[in-house]
Amino acid sequence: MKRIVVTGAAGFIGSNIVKGLNARGIDNIIAVDDLTLGEKFRNLADLKIADYVDADDFYDMFAMGAFGEVEAVFHEGACSDTMETDGKFMLANNYTLSCQLFQACQKHRTRLLYASSAATYGGSDTFREDPAFERPLNVYGYSKLLFDQRMRRECGANFERLGAANAAQVVGFRYFNVYGEREQHKARMASVAFHQFNQFALDGKVKLFGDYGGYAAGAQMRDFVFIDDVVAVNLWFLDHPEISGIFNLGTGRAQPFNDVADAVVNAMRSNRGASLLTHEAMVNAGLIEYVDFPDSLRGKYQCYTQADLTALRRAGCNHRFTDVQGGVSKYVNDLLGQDRGVARC
C-alpha cells in the first residue's frame, strides 16, 4: 500500500488509528500534528511511523505534492474543545484547513477519511445524517457541520459525484461520545470514563450531574462508543474505497451516565479484589455522588444522543459495537496496567 497520512496523529483518535494500521503491518505512515503540548509524544512513542511533519507545514506541502503518492489521509486534526468560543480560530482550524486538504486530496486522487462530529446535531432529538436534524449548539459543532455542508456541495448531496473515474473517496465520520486509551492529554475534554477513573482513584468516588433537562440524576443518556470500534469502522472504509458519504459512528444505543459510573467503579473494585455492587449500593455507600448541573452548560448540553446506524448498515458495514459495560471495563484495565490515567496539562 502507498503512504498513508494521519493528521492529529498524536491525538486520541489519530494515535489509535496509527496503532490500528500498525496492527495490520502498515507503518509507511506520515504522522501530522502540533506537539506544542509535548506530552502528546507519549501517544506515538510505542508506534511505528515513517515520518513526522508539523501541522503548520503539512497542508501547503501536501498541496504541492511533496510526499509523493499518498493512498489515503485520515484527517483527525482539529480543535475539539466544545467550550472554545473563538469562532475565528475554530473555523480556521476545522473548516478552512479541511477545505484546503480536500482540494489537495482530489487533485492528487488521494482518499480522504475525516472526523466530523455528533455535535452537528446539537439540539436535535433525531440523529440521522440529514440537514433537517442538524442544529449545532456551539461553534465547534457549527465548524464541523460547515465542512460537511461543503462536502455535500462539492461531492453531491449523497456524494454521487464521487462515482466519476477521477474522483477519490471521501468519508466523514460523525463521532459520538468516544472513550478509550490514549486520551490522557485531553484534560477537561477527555471522556467521562477517564475523569471518573481518576476521581475514583483519588477520592474513592465518582461525580455525576444531578437532574437536568427532564432527566433524573445521572440518567442523561449518550451514545458512548469505544475507541477500538471507532478504529475498526475507519479501517473498514479504508478497505472499501468505493464507498463515500457522511456516516454516524456510534453504537446505535444510548446509555445513561450512571452505566458508565457503575462500570468504572465495578472494574476498579474488581481489580482490587472487591465484590461487584449494584448502582443503588454504590450510591448508598457514597461511591457515586451527584452534583448540581452547572449554569454554564444550561442550554448548551445534549441530554440524549443515539446514533442512527441506518446509513452505515446500508453501506455494508456490519461491525458489532461494544456496550458500555464491556468497553469501560477493558479501558479501566488498560489504564491500570499502563499508567495512562493522569491528565497532564
Q: What is the DSSP string of 35-75?
A: TTSGGGGGGTTTS--SEEEEHHHHHHHHHTTTT--EEEEEE
Q: In this structure, are strands 51-54 and 224-226 parallel, antiparallel, or unpaired?
A: unpaired
What is residue 104's three-state secondary structure?
A: helix
* Residue with the three cell numbers 467550550: 83
* Residue with the three cell numbers 446506524: 309
Question: Which residues, 6 or more positions from 278, have their beta carbon under 8 angstroms from its beta carbon?
Answer: none
Q: In this structure, are strands 221-222 and 170-175 parallel, antiparallel, or unpaired?
A: unpaired
Does the annotation count 19 as an active-site position?
Answer: no
Q: Is 312 exposed, middle or buried (0-12, 13-18, 19+ CB in 10 A)?
A: buried
Q: How far is CA 305 from CA 100, 253, 264, 315, in A?
A: 31, 9, 21, 22
Catalytic residue among 48, 52, 186, 205: 186
CA distance 111 to 317: 18
All three cell numbers of 132, joined, read: 433537517
Query: First vs last Cα of the chain: how many Å apart?
Result: 37
Does the annotation count 207 as an active-site position?
Answer: no
Catalytic residue among 140, 142, 175, 179: 140
Residue type present at position 308: D
> Please, how many CA atoms are within 13 Å of residue 88, restricted to the half-sphere of its CB?
0
All three cell numbers of 270, joined, read: 474488581
Q: How far is CA 333 from CA 161, 181, 195, 198, 272, in A?
A: 45, 10, 15, 13, 11
The set of catalytic residues is 140, 186
